[in-house]
Structure 1
Amino acid sequence: MKKVEHIIVAVNHAVVAGLLAITFAIVFMNVVGRYGFGISFSWVEEAARHLMILASFCGAGLALREGRLVTIGIVSDMLPERFSVMLRWAVVLVMFAFMVVMCWLGVQFVQFGWNKETMATGIPRGIPYMSIPIGCGLFLIQLCFFAKRFVARDFEYDAGTPPTGEAS
């Protein structure tokens, strides 16, 4: 199971990195084209926006693993350990329920927007709307693998840096 989790995390990292790289490339290309050659592509702004939204949704599960999601820990810290653990499990259940609902509503949103076209690219709006169920589904997968460690506050830090930016 650890190997499957490792593969999912690695693929998720690669997807987010790829989306951000593509976004950078098309925006850079458009800036160079506009200011260097007087040529601008109308679809770049829309595509970059959709790619950034997809990257944000896909990266939410990774942010959870690294302890980079906003939390209010003072209540949990003030409670006795037993109640603190119960509260953190309740938070996991709320996150899970919220993401299940978001995933389901995201699918409904995709279906609703499928017959409408985006302004610049002319693709069905359901395609960029797929960011919601894809990102929420990835978050749910990450949460299932990471819930026990989330409760234990055993976060993974990127490059050894705590999420607050403080030295470890």
Structure 2
Amino acid sequence: MRKVYKYVTLTTQGFLVLATGVMVVIVILEVVLRYGFNTGFSWSEELSRFLFIALSFIGASEALRRGQHVSVSIFIDMLPSGVKRKVRFIVRVFMVLFLLLFAYSSFLLLKKFHFQLAPALRISMAWPHSALFLGAILMLFQLLWVMLKGSNGEEDSKSLLKDEV
């Protein structure tokens, strides 16, 4: 299981780096072409928008892995450690339920947008919308990993991966 976790994490990180690089190059090239040569690509804005959406949703799983999502824990931090663990577990169960619902809803969207084409790129709109589904599945994977590791003594997701990946 640890190998699968490491593979998924490294693949996610690789995609994020590649997508960020492609998006930066496309945007810089488009700015240079538009303002330097009064021309440009018709598809650059659309592709950079799709890449930004993918970065947001898939990057959310990496943020979850690192424990970097915004949270308000002032009241939880005031609780005794036993109660704190139970509250965090309950919150994580609700997060799993939300992510399952989000993944299911985004999968339904994929089926609806399958035949619709992007105006400039002329690709199926299922491709950009797949970032929602993939992001939900990756966040669910990371959250379940945190919960499994938490049951082995590592409760806080922030301290979970200091020695991993």
- Length-normalised TM-score, structure 2: 0.88
Asked if 1:25 is matched to 2:43, the reply is no
Q: For the structure 1 residues 40 and 61, does the alpha-carbon distance in structure 2 shift closer, same or farther, using more than 3 Å as the test? A: same
Asked if 1:152 is matched to 2:159, the reply is no
Cα distance in 2 for partners of 1:56, 1:138 equals: 12
Ranges in structure 2 where 5+ consecutive residues have no aligned partner: none
Say if 1:65 and 1:156, in contact at 8 Å, map to a contact too: no
Per the alignment, in what secondary structure is the counterpart of residue 158 of structure 2? coil
Residue 15 of structure 1, CA deviation: 0.9
Q: For the structure 1 residues 104 and 154, does the alpha-carbon distance in structure 2 shift closer, same or farther, using more than 3 Å as the test? A: closer
Deviations 1:13-36 (A, max 9, x none): 111111111111111111111122
Q: For the structure 1 residues 119 and 156, does the alpha-carbon distance in structure 2 shift closer, same or farther, using more than 3 Å as the test? A: farther
Deviations 1:29-77 (A, max 9, x none): 1111112222211211111111111111111111012221011111211
Deviations 1:107-135 (A, max 9, x none): 11011111222222222222211111111
Cα distance in 2 for partners of 1:156, 1:64 equals: 12
What corresponds to 1:83 in structure 2? 83
Residue 4 of structure 1, CA deviation: 2.4
| Amino acid across the alignment from 1:76 | I
Per the alignment, in what secondary structure is the counterpart of residue 87 of structure 1? helix
Per the alignment, in what secondary structure is the counterpart of residue 118 of structure 1? coil
Say if 2:65 and 2:161, in contact at 8 Å, map to a contact too: no
Cα distance in 1 for partners of 2:134, 2:65 equals: 18
Aligned ranges 1:125-164 → 2 under 5 Å: 125-149=125-149, 152-155=155-158
**Aligned-residue RMSD, C-alpha:** 2.2
Q: For the structure 1 residues 83 and 157, does the alpha-carbon distance in structure 2 shift closer, same or farther, using more than 3 Å as the test? A: closer
Cα distance in 1 for partners of 2:48, 2:160 equals: 28
- Aligned residue pairs total 160
Q: For the structure 1 residues 158 and 80, does the alpha-carbon distance in structure 2 shift closer, same or farther, using more than 3 Å as the test? A: closer
Ranges in structure 1 where 5+ consecutive residues have no aligned partner: 160-168
Q: Percent identity?
A: 28
Say if 1:57 and 1:132, in contact at 8 Å, map to a contact too: yes
Q: For the structure 1 residues 141 and 154, does the alpha-carbon distance in structure 2 shift closer, same or farther, using more than 3 Å as the test? A: closer
- Length-normalised TM-score, structure 1: 0.86
